[in-house]
């Protein structure tokens, strides 16, 4: 088994470094969005507040789905290191289903808010909310598309987990865990503080 792990560890340092640079630029984008939300979070323009709008039960379920998807992504990476193709595929599909459930709940929340006349045009607070949460949701959606491409490559193109695919899966894993961390910040600063 240690030989399998050794063979799986041929990661290109420049790939990892380049992806960390990308993650840091994404951090700056989200930091800007959090700063805007912090400034606008009390600008209701006579409209509804977070306390009146947010359903913590639904948001807790979203959080649970994303945390579980992060764990399943971690299990997929264990499969990558062990070069177990089927294990990687199973855990990637579980990650996809959990991530898709998260996006589905988020879209449902946006539709519900828009139906209650609480869309992004109603107030600065709602505009900042939709921008921050929507940007995270778009990142998760892009991650799901990326996951499908990687799973398709592993299923239809590669006979095994190659070094090149390992590098791609590592970059995906970094991205997915990053989105999990950002969501924890969103959940805390937008939803939990918003209902106080």
Q: Does a structural domain hold residue 81?
A: yes
Give the chain's domain count: 1
Check residue 11 and give its pLDDT: 62
List the domain range (segments joined by +) for residue 189. 11-194
Q: Residue 48 has which token pair? A: 């509804």
For the segment 59-84, the average pLDDT, to the nearest whole number, is 97
Q: Residues of the chain with pLDDT > 90: what percent?
A: 83
* Residue in 178, 91, 185 with CA at minimum distance from that of residue 142: 178
For the segment 109-127, the average pLDDT, to the nearest whole number, is 96
> First-to-last CA distance in the chain?
51
pLDDT tens digits for range 133-165 = 999 999 999 999 999 999 999 999 888 898 889
pLDDT tens digits for range 22-51 = 999 999 999 999 999 999 999 999 999 999
Higher pLDDT, 17 or 193: 193
Cα dist from 130 to 56, 103, 106, 122, whole Å: 16, 14, 11, 11
Q: Does a structural domain hold residue 148?
A: yes
d(CA 157, CA 85): 12
Q: Does a structural domain hold residue 176?
A: yes
Q: Does a structural domain hold residue 153?
A: yes
Q: Does a structural domain hold residue 167?
A: yes
The CATH code of the domain that includes 48 is 1.20.120.80
Contacts of 161 (CB under 8 A, 6+ apart): 8, 79, 80, 83, 84, 85, 88, 154, 169
Within 13 Å, how many C-alpha atoms sit on residue 170's CB side?
A: 21
């Amino acid at each position: 088994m240690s030989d399998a792990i050794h063979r799986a560890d041929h990661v290109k340092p420049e790939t990892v470094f380049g992806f960390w640079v990308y993650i840091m630029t994404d951090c700056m984008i989200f930091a800007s969005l959090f700063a805007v939300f912090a400034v606008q979070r009390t600008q209701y323009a006579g409209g509804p507040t977070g306390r009146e709008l947010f359903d913590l039960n639904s948001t807790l379920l979203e959080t649970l789905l994303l945390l579980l998807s992060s764990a399943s992504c971690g299990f997929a990476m264990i499969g990558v290191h062990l070069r177990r193709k089927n294990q990687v595929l199973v855990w990637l599909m579980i990650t996809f289903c959990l991530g898709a459930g998260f996006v589905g709940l988020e879209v449902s929340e946006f539709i519900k808010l828009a139906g209650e006349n609480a869309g992004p045009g109603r107030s600065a607070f709602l505009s900042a909310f939709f921008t921050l949460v929507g940007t995270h949701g778009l990142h998760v959606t892009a991650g799901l598309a990326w996951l499908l491409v990687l799973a398709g490559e592993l299923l239809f193109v590669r006979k095994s987990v190659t070094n090149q695919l390992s590098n791609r899966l590592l970059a995906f894993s970094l991205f997915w865990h990053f989105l999990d961390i950002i969501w924890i910040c969103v959940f805390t600063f937008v939803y939990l503080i918003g209902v106080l």
